[in-house]
């Protein structure tokens, strides 16, 4: 009996021993598998827990004007960060930093006591004085890293054209946005092994992937012409108490934009404080009814179609009725004879309507669209607006009388500039552009302005005849304030009523005064458009916009070394 019990115990012990051996063999096998076969895998996982990665921001490329003067550059700046679990006295630290950084103490304390992360930004891209003050404190858990900060040396100059970037150096507006993929560069990365307290492990893993700085852009903008345009525009806005204004200066033969000025403007280095209305590049984005500056294209169409010559004589009454609309002149007059050239010279609404009726709505529409007045120019800039003109089938009875003097059609300042460029460039249309080339940090050309494909719109003969007619506008017509000593100048005045906000009729108290012209007439090298929105002191384009044109164009001709006649 005792022997049986002993055998039973021995069997149980053997079974337990067997199970223990199996267990130990399993553990040993697992250890061998983990430490041998999967050693690399677990070593990699452990390393990942110790590895900390910090992105190295690249320097954003520089934006230059046509003479390689800097309009936007990147500077080094310091950013303050915290490792929350290393902060011993968060409340005290928050108090110290709030005084230096001029930040709310509670906001800082919330960041310093976060438990969900080991890294948090406290303030980005601070000035050197603040950075030095923080460094002197030597607070555990508070550090500084170097970042790139965008800076605009010319502050307000060409602000709507250049645009600005965000905290992460990503383009948000203007050419900074349009050229972002070229300017921003490629971020780098530094990876280091750290212990649980965030300290570097001596002899630990370190890997550096350097950043690649962004490409730079050379614009067609001329800093000196841009400055002059802004000065003259601001002066006019102040003197006339106008709401806003724009100026475009372009080479009509190449499409190069020398200047785009807009008022109101803003300081690029403090863009967050700017009003939305001042950030918009209204010369490119906004549409308006052009008024009498449109007459040029209706007259050009009549000459191109062979209907009239510049010397063709008309008897024009003081008013003309078109359907239900009575059209009169800006200044009342009796009936008298006008040549076709006089209609432009004295800006006759009745004359423009008479010519428009003779042309017919289909041909008017054909030529206005042919001059590009109802489609975007394709400029290398974001957010371009486009003009609008109803299809002829949708015109009312009076539309054929009002469109020829610029009512019932909307255009952008840039579209109007391009259209006048056709007159200045012997009937050929070119595309306006702002970016001359993009170059790499190694000075290689990454992108150049596309070669211009000129589009014929009217014959060179018609264009030349129009230039001489527009010269008479300046010589002794409505645009005498645009005269420049030593140069032959051509151009056209415009004074347009603004439509009422509800779209029903026109507001007699709100006008847009404008002038578009070029010089020298025999071979135009500079084309300038001036638009003044809602002037108060006086409303006439010849009085408000023409003097601005004169000053900007005269400066541009001298600056570009274009010889007088």
Residues with a known catalytic role: 292
What token pair was written down for 103?
Answer: 């930040």
- Say if residues 257 and 244 touch (Cβ distance below 8 Å): no
Tell me if residue 2 falls in helix, strand or coil: helix
Whether the CB-CB separation of 148 and 76 falls below 8 Å is answered with yes
SS3 call for 503: coil
Residue labelled with tokens 């400029």 = 379
Q: For residue 221, which phi and psi values (nearest 5 degrees)? A: -60, 135
- Dihedral sign computed on CA atoms, order 480, 482, 484, 487: negative
The helix (H) or strand (E) run that includes residue 54 is: strand 51-56
> What letter would DSSP give residue 372?
T
d(CA 51, CA 39): 18
Q: CA 484, CA 84: separation in Å to the nearest integer?
A: 68
Q: What is the DSSP code (8-state) at residue 562?
A: P
Q: What is the dihedral of CA 303, 344, 363, 410, to 10 degrees?
A: 150
- Distance, in Å, from the CA atom of 198 to the CA atom of 140, rounded to the nearest integer, reads 11
Q: What are the φ and ψ backbone dihedral angles of 6, each rounded to 5 degrees?
A: -65, -40
Those residues whose C-beta lies under 8 Å from the C-beta of residue 506, and which sit 6 or more positions away, are 407, 497, 498, 499, 500
- Spatial contact of 189 and 176, defined as CB atoms under 8 Å apart: no
Residues 6+ apart with CB under 8 A from 480: 474, 542, 546
């Amino acid at each position: 009996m005792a022997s049986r019990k002993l055998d039973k115990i021995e069997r149980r012990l053997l079974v337990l021993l067997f199970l223990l051996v199996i267990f130990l063999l399993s553990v040993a096998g697992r250890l061998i598998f983990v430490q041998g076969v999967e050693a690399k895998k677990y070593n990699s996982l452990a390393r990942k827990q110790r590895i900390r990665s910090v992105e190295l921001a690249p320097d954003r490329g520089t934006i230059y004007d046509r003479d390689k003067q800097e309009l936007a550059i990147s500077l080094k700046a310091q950013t303050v960060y915290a490792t929350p679990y290393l902060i011993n006295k968060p409340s005290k630290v928050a108090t110290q930093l709030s005084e230096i950084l001029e930040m709310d103490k509670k906001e800082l304390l919330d960041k310093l006591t976060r438990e969900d992360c080991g890294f948090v930004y406290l303030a980005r891209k601070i000035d050197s004085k603040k950075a030095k003050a923080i460094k002197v404190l030597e607070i555990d858990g508070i550090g500084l890293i170097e970042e790139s900060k965008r800076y605009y040396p010319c502050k307000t100059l060409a602000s709507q054209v250049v645009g600005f970037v965000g905290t992460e150096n990503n383009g948000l507006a203007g050419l900074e946005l349009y050229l972002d993929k070229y300017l921003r560069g490629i971020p780098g990365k530094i990876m280091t092994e750290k212990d649980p307290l965030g300290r570097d492990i001596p002899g630990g893993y370190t890997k550096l992937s350097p950043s690649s700085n962004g490409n730079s852009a050379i614009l067609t903008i001329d800093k000196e012409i841009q400055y002059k345009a802004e000065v003259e525009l601001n002066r006019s806005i102040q003197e006339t108490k106008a709401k806003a204004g724009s100026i475009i200066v372009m080479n009509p033969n190449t499409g190069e934009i020398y200047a785009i000025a807009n008022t109101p403007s803003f300081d690029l280095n403090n863009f967050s404080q700017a009003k939305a209305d001042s950030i918009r590049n209204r010369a490119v984005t906004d549409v308006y009814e052009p008024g009498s500056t449109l007459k040029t294209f209706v007259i050009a169409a009549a000459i191109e179609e062979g209907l009239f010559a510049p010397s063709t004589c008309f008897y024009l009454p003081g008013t003309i009725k078109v359907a239900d609309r009575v059209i009169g002149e800006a200044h009342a007059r009796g009936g008298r004879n006008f040549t076709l050239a006089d209609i432009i010279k004295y800006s006759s609404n009745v004359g423009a309507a008479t010519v428009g009726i003779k042309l017919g709505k289909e041909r008017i529409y054909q030529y206005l669209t042919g001059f590009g007045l109802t489609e975007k120019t394709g400029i290398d800039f974001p957010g371009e607006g486009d003009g609008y003109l109803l299809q002829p089938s949708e015109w009312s009875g009076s539309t054929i009388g009002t469109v020829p003097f610029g009512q019932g059609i909307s255009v952008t300042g840039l579209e109007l500039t391009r259209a006048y460029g056709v007159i200045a460039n012997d009937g050929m249309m070119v595309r306006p552009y702002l970016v001359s080339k993009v170059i790499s940090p190694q000075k290689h050309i990454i992108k150049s302005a596309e070669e211009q494909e000129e589009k014929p719109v009217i014959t060179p003969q018609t264009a030349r005849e129009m230039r001489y007619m527009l010269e008479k506008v300046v010589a002794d017509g409505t645009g005498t304030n645009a005269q420049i000593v030593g140069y032959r100048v051509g151009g056209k005045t415009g004074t347009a009523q603004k439509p009422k906000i509800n779209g029903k009729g026109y507001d007699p108290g709100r006008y847009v005064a404008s002038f578009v012209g070029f010089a020298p007439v025999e071979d135009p090298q500079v084309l300038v458009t001036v638009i003044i929105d809602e002037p108060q002191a006086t409303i006439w384009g010849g009085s408000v916009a023409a003097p601005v044109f004169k000053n900007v164009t005269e400066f541009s001709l001298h600056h570009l070394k274009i010889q007088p006649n």
